[in-house]
Amino acid sequence: MSNDARRRLKLAGAALAASAVLLTAACSGGGGSTASNGKVTIEFSQWWGSELPKGDLQKIADEFHAKNPNITVKLLTQPYSSLQDQTTTAGVSGTLADVVGLDGAWVNNLVKQGALDNLSTEIKSTKYDDSQLASQIQIEGSTYMIPVVNFVYPLFTNDDLLAKAGVTTPPKDRSEFLADAKAITEKTSAKGWILPLGTTNPNGVQNDVMSWLWASGGSMLKKGQPDLTNSGVKDTIDYVKSLYDAKVVADGTFTLQEPDKSTQFTNGQVGMMIDSLAHITTIRQANPNLKFSISAVPAADGYTGKRGIPYASWGIGVANKSAHKAEAWKFVQYLMSKDVNANISSLAHGFPGNSTATPDFTGADPLYQQAFKIYQAGYPANEFVGLPTSDQLMRDFDTELQKVLNGNESVDAMLTTTQATWKKAF
C-alpha cells in the first residue's frame, strides 16, 4: 500500500472514530456520579438560583456539603420558563437530575411518566416526621412533591390612586372592589384592575380568576373531580364579567401576561392587582416612589369564613431513576429542616414549607410581615396543584372565559363546555 493510500485510510479511520464518538455522545444520559472513594455528587435542577440573590443557593449547597462531606450538590440552574419543557423531556428520557425543583402543575404528568420517586416511601423508611411539613403534593395518597417555599398572591393596591379616587381603605368584599375599581377608572387616568388572560402562560386563570372563588371558601373540585357548574364558580365568573363589562379592567386582557400585570401596576397604569408577594422587591426597585399596600383578596359579600389565598410553590422531588435516592432525600430533608427552610424563605421573600419555621423579617419590607399575617389568618389555596395537565386545564378555561367576556358565549354555556373538557383530562 502506498503512503498516500495509508494516509487516506488513517483519515477514514479517524472519521469513523469521530462518528462513533458522535453516536456515543448522542446516546449518553445525565445524572449524578459516584467517585472511586465513595464520594457522591448529586445534581439539583431548579430555577431558584436565578431568582435568589446571586450565590445564595450555592452557599446553602456548600453548607450541606460541609455537614455531609461525602455528598456534593451540583446546581443546574435554568430560568423557570425553559425548565418546564426540559423537565418534561428529561422525565421522558429518564435523565432527570437526582433532585428536581418542581412546580405543582408539573407533578401529575411526571408521576404518570414514572419519573418521580414516591417520597412517602422515603418518609416511612427514614422515619421522617412529616407533620412539620406545611403541605405535601400527593397523587393517589402518595407524596411526590414537597413545597419548600410558598409565594402567596394578595391584593396589591396603589395608595395614591385610591386616595385620588376617594377610597381610604383597600376593599374587603366584592361590592367594595367593584365600587373602588369604578372610582379609580372614573377619577384618575388609570384603570381599576388588571386581568391578564393571555394564553401563552394561562396562569391568570389560577391567580386572577379562581383566587376570587378561593377567597370566598369556594372550590372548583368535588371529590377530586371537576365541579365547575357549582354556584360558587358561576358567581365568580359572573362577578369577573361584571368588572369587565363595567370597563374597569385594563385594555388588552386577552393577551396580557403576568409580567404585564406588575409592570402596569408599577407604572401607575392600574390601581389594583392580585399578584405574587415575590414581586414586592421588583416593584420597589422599578418605582421607589410608588406607595402601595397589600391586603387579602376580597371575598363575596357577607362571607365570614377563612379565606383561601392563592399561592405558588418552589417544590422539590427526587428522580425515580436516580442512582443516589438516599443522598437526594438527605438533601431534601436538609432543605426542609427548620433553620435552613426559614433561611431560604427569607432570602426568597416567601413563606416556609416547614410549618415550624418562621421567616426572618429583620430589615425586610414591612409588607412581608403584613402578608404573613394574611397567610396565617387564611389558608393556602391552589386547586390546580397536582391536577392532570393543569396548564392545559387553565388554557381551556381561559379560552372559554375569553368568549364569555367577548360576548360570544353565556357563563352557563362556558362552564358546561369547560366542565366537559376538563372531565376528559381527568
Partner 1 sequence: MTAVRLAGMPRRGAGMRPARNVAPYGFVAPTVVLLLVLMVVPIVLVIGYSMLHGAITTTAPTFVGADNYIALFTDPDFWNAALNTLVFTTASVVAHLLIGLGFSMMLNSRLLGAVPIAIFRVIYILPWLFTAAIIAVLWRLLLDPQGIVNYLLQAVHVVGSPIAWFGDPGTALFAVVFMNIWAGYPFFMISLLAGLQGVPTELYEAARVDGASPLQQFVNVTLPHLRPIVISMAMLDVLWTTQQFALIWLTTGGGPISVTEMLSTFTYKLAFTGFDFSSASASAVVVLAFSLIVAVFYVRSQRAER
Residues that bind partner 1 (CB under 8 A): 1, 5, 8-9, 11-13, 15-16, 18-19, 22-23, 26, 84-85, 88, 92, 109, 112-114, 197-201, 250-256, 269, 389, 391-392, 395, 398-399, 402-403, 406, 408
Q: How far is CA 353 from CA 136, 144, 276, 319, 363, in A?
A: 9, 15, 16, 20, 22
Q: Which three cell numbers stand for residue 17?
A: 472514530
% helix, strand, coil for the chain, step of 5: 50, 20, 35
Strands 142-152 and 311-318: antiparallel
Element (H, E) at 73: strand 71-77
Strand ranges, E, within 174-330 = 191-193, 221-222, 225-226, 270-274, 292-295, 308-309, 311-318
Nearer to partner 1, 21 or 35 (CB): 21
Give dist(CA 364, CA 155) in Å, integer. Answer: 19
Q: How far is the CB of 425 from partner 1 (least distance, A)?
A: 8
Q: How far is the CB of 368 from partner 1 (least distance, A)?
A: 31
Q: How far is the CB of 189 from partner 1 (least distance, A)?
A: 10
Give the amino acid at 359: P
Nearer to partner 1, 122 or 398 (CB): 398
Nearer to partner 1, 205 or 371 (CB): 205
Q: Which three cell numbers stand for residue 311?
A: 399561592
* Residue (of 242, 146, 123) closest to 193 by Cα position: 242
Give dist(CA 125, CA 133) in Å, integer. Answer: 17
Nearer to partner 1, 5 or 66 (CB): 5
Give dist(CA 415, CA 426) in Å, integer. Answer: 16
Give dist(CA 63, CA 46) in Å, integer. Answer: 18
Give dist(CA 386, CA 103) in Å, integer. Answer: 9
Residue 109, C-beta contacts closer than 8 angstroms, at least 6 positions apart: 88, 91, 388, 389
Q: How far is the CB of 397 from partner 1 (least distance, A)?
A: 12
Q: How far is the CB of 14 from partner 1 (least distance, A)?
A: 8
Nearer to partner 1, 130 or 251 (CB): 251
Q: Which three cell numbers stand for residue 195?
A: 386581568
Nearer to partner 1, 274 or 394 (CB): 394
Q: How far is the CB of 142 from partner 1 (least distance, A)?
A: 17
Nearer to partner 1, 345 or 421 (CB): 421
Nearer to partner 1, 12 or 35 (CB): 12
Q: How many residues does the chain have?
A: 426
Give dist(CA 327, CA 307) in Å, integer. Answer: 39
Nearer to partner 1, 206 or 343 (CB): 206
Give backbone dihedrals phi and psi of 197, rounded to 5 degrees, phi first: -115, 20
Buried b (16+ CB within 10 A) or exposed e, 202-215: bbbbbbbbbbbbbb
User: Which of the 8 DSSP states describes residue 205?
Assistant: I
Q: How far is the CB of 391 from partner 1 (least distance, A)?
A: 4
Give the amino acid at 152: V
Q: How far is the CB of 205 from partner 1 (least distance, A)?
A: 12
Nearer to partner 1, 208 or 327 (CB): 208
Nearer to partner 1, 8 or 124 (CB): 8
Q: How far is the CB of 186 from partner 1 (least distance, A)?
A: 15
* Partners of 34 in beta bridges: 40
Q: How far is the CB of 235 from partner 1 (least distance, A)?
A: 23
